[in-house]
Structure formats: C-alpha cells, structure tokens
Amino acid sequence: MKIPVRIKVGGQTIEVRKVERLDRNYLGQCRLAEGVIEVAEKYDRNTPISETCQINSFFHETVHAILGTMGEDDLNNNEKFVCTFSSFLTEIFLSIEYDTSNNNLGDN
C-alpha cells in the first residue's frame, strides 16, 4: 500500500509528507491547523522505520485528524484509543483482497 500525498478530512485538504526524521523520534505528527500530516522514514539518525510501521503511522495521524475535526478532544488525546483504532485500520487495508476476475468487477 502506498501512503497518499494528500487526503481530505471533513472538507479540509491534508497534505501528507514523508520526512526523514521528526523531533523527539516521533513516528508521525498531525498538525491539523496547518493541514499537514508527517510520517517519519527514520526513528533516529541510523534506524529506518519499516514500511508497515510508516503505514500504521499514517493511519494513526489520520485518526488524529478525524477526531480533531470532529471536536472529539478526549478521544483525540487518548493515545491508547488512537493506537488501537489505527492498528485495526492498518490491518484492514493491508489485508484487502480483490477479485480480479472479469465476471465480478464492480460487484459488492
């Protein structure tokens, strides 16, 4: 799965950037007021972050963007909830299987 370069959340366009590193060795960061999600490619100067972890970080920050847009401050500040929810989203999207036979395209 590729991480998108832009998404829309509640009518707001959010630019998604892959960056080499983030302060405090964060894996990702959402700055909703600026319309930016950043996903780190390295944990520190020498430790690359796996593709799956980067995808999970993208979904994690997307959940923050959704909850922030909804005004759900308590849930948005609940990292246990955000981590669990984003992990489920990552699992779903990475496990999607499509029927590519011609007779079922567009069904269900």
- Which pLDDT score, from 0 to 100, does residue 101 have? 86
pLDDT tens for residues 61-105?
Answer: 999 999 999 999 999 999 999 999 999 999 999 999 999 887 655
Residue type present at position 42: K
pLDDT tens for residues 35-68?
Answer: 999 999 999 989 999 999 999 999 999 999 999 9
pLDDT tens for residues 10-33?
Answer: 999 999 999 999 999 899 999 999
Q: How far is Cα 50 from Cα 41, in angstroms, rounded to an integer?
A: 8
What is the pTM for the complete model shown? 0.90
CB 90 within 8 A of CB 62: no
pLDDT above 60: residue 108: no
